[in-house]
Amino acid sequence: MNKDLIISRVVSGYISLQIHGQKYLLAAPSPKERYFSEEIYETVLREAETEGLLNNTGILNFLVKRKLWTEAQDDALFGLPKDIETFKRTMYENRLQSDKVEGIRVHLVKARTQWENLYKIRHSHDDLTCEGQATLAKGRYLIGCGLRTKSGKRLFKGETFWEDQSGILESAISAYSSVKLNESSLRQIARSDEWRSHWSMKKSGIPLFNSCVSNLTDEQRSLIGWSLLYDSIHEHSEAPSKSIIDDDDMLDGWLIIQREKSSKNDDKKDVEGIIKNERIKNSQEVFIMAGTAKDAKKIDALNDQLAARIKKNRMDHLKKVGQVSEWNMPDTKQEIQMQFNKMKGG
């Protein structure tokens, strides 16, 4: 990857496209053009609905009826992202065991590939839907608005150019798809020394790009977003090492763990806000009624490892012996024995 080339491209606000052997430039749409594109989306959507085209739910039923999509595939499509997160978290937790990390990475790659393949199948006929037609129209309009000759002259004029489905506009859409930066590339640029030296200039008040916020390109917005994230990671009190930061999957694992910690702390603060009585708050055990299964799961997650282990041992004991008093619980008997030994020793 030529980082300097990509940085120059992003900073310029243009994307160079080769179409029919000639060079063209793609500029970002203006705020007004973005607004018009949303109007086009709504107009095409309503027209498609009037014409009786399938919506997103309808296309799913279409695929199922023709056995192009199954319930098992649907479950996998929604379940795999959670598996992918688990693999990333596990990779980070085992970061000091390289062999284990690479083994987990193999499973991660397989899960990611499986999800991508399922996504393609599930959305392979989206162009037949109302939403698909509207999205295509919006995209055609935005690409057409931004297409320029090498000298910077706008290629399309008028208001209905996006309706033409032949010629240079189609080629421009295809060319843009082939050179569009993916997330991995943007992350690599955002953490690179070449970009960080440029990014550091923002502290001096010098504009990074020759445009206001509303005129930023999608690539500029994404690069700013990733740069801010890496800033916050470096400033974190438990910042990971450079080798972790440079590994997208490993860093995602660290971010997932930090997110879970933050969520648990927020839930703990919510519970502490509910428990006003200091005597109850300082008790060894506090029982909180949950309104739903989701609430119960959230409350249960507040237990630390020791409390979770005690709870599990108690449940296992109850399953084994049935009804039992508090005093005959394993942890209670152990605590009493420890107190007795302490008194005896004193």
Task: Please state whether beta strands 22-27 and 147-148 pair in parallel, antiparallel, or not at all (unpaired).
Answer: antiparallel
Is the model's pLDDT at 280 over the cut of 60? no
Of 331 and 25, more confident: 25
Tell me if 255 is assigned to some domain: no
pLDDT at residue 68 in the model:
94
pTM: 0.76
The C-alpha torsion from 202 through 203 and 205 to 209, rounded to 10°, is: 0
Tell me if 88 is assigned to some domain: yes
pLDDT at residue 45 in the model:
97
Average pLDDT, the chain: 86
Q: 152: burial class by Cβ within 10 Å (0-12, 13-18, 19+)?
A: exposed
Is the model's pLDDT at 255 over the cut of 70? yes
- pLDDT, tens digit, 9 for 90 and up, residues 201-251: 887 777 888 778 888 999 999 999 999 999 999 999 999 999 999 999 999
- Sign for the CA dihedral angle at 130, 131, 133, 137 comes to positive
- pLDDT, tens digit, 9 for 90 and up, residues 165-181: 768 999 999 999 999 99
Tell me if 246 is assigned to some domain: no
Is the model's pLDDT at 342 over the cut of 70? no
- pLDDT, tens digit, 9 for 90 and up, residues 134-160: 999 999 999 999 999 999 999 998 888
pLDDT at residue 272 in the model:
58
Percent of the chain with pLDDT over 70: 76
- Sign for the CA dihedral angle at 302, 307, 313, 314 comes to negative
- Name the residue range of residue 62's domain: 12-180
Residue pointed to by tokens 């990779």: 91
Is the model's pLDDT at 275 over the cut of 70? no
- Tokens describing residue 323: 């009804």
Tell me if 52 is assigned to some domain: yes
Name the domain count of the chain.
1
| pLDDT category of residue 263 using cuts at 50, 70 and 90 | confident
Tell me if 176 is assigned to some domain: yes
pLDDT at residue 144 in the model:
94
- pLDDT, tens digit, 9 for 90 and up, residues 109-139: 999 999 999 999 999 999 999 999 999 999 9
pLDDT at residue 273 in the model:
57
R_g of the chain computed on alpha carbons? 28
Of 241 and 164, more confident: 241
The C-alpha torsion from 140 through 146 and 147 to 151, rounded to 10°, is: 170
- Provide the 3-class DSSP secondary structure of residue 19: strand
Tell me if 71 is assigned to some domain: yes
Tell me if 316 is assigned to some domain: no
Q: 146: burial class by Cβ within 10 Å (0-12, 13-18, 19+)?
A: buried
* E-strand stretches of the chain: 14-19, 22-27, 147-148
| pLDDT category of residue 284 using cuts at 50, 70 and 90 | low
| pLDDT category of residue 85 using cuts at 50, 70 and 90 | very high
pLDDT at residue 277 in the model:
58
- Provide the 3-class DSSP secondary structure of residue 284: coil
- pLDDT, tens digit, 9 for 90 and up, residues 14-25: 999 999 999 999
- Residues 226 and 242: their CA atoms lie apart, in Å, by 16
**What is the CA angle 63-65-71, rounded to 5?**
70
- Residues 281 and 11: their CA atoms lie apart, in Å, by 55
Tell me if 60 is assigned to some domain: yes
- Sign for the CA dihedral angle at 145, 149, 152, 158 comes to negative
pLDDT at residue 328 in the model:
63
- Sign for the CA dihedral angle at 317, 322, 327, 333 comes to negative
Residues 6+ apart with CB under 8 A from 112: 84
Angle at which helices 305-321 and 330-345 cross, to 10°: 120
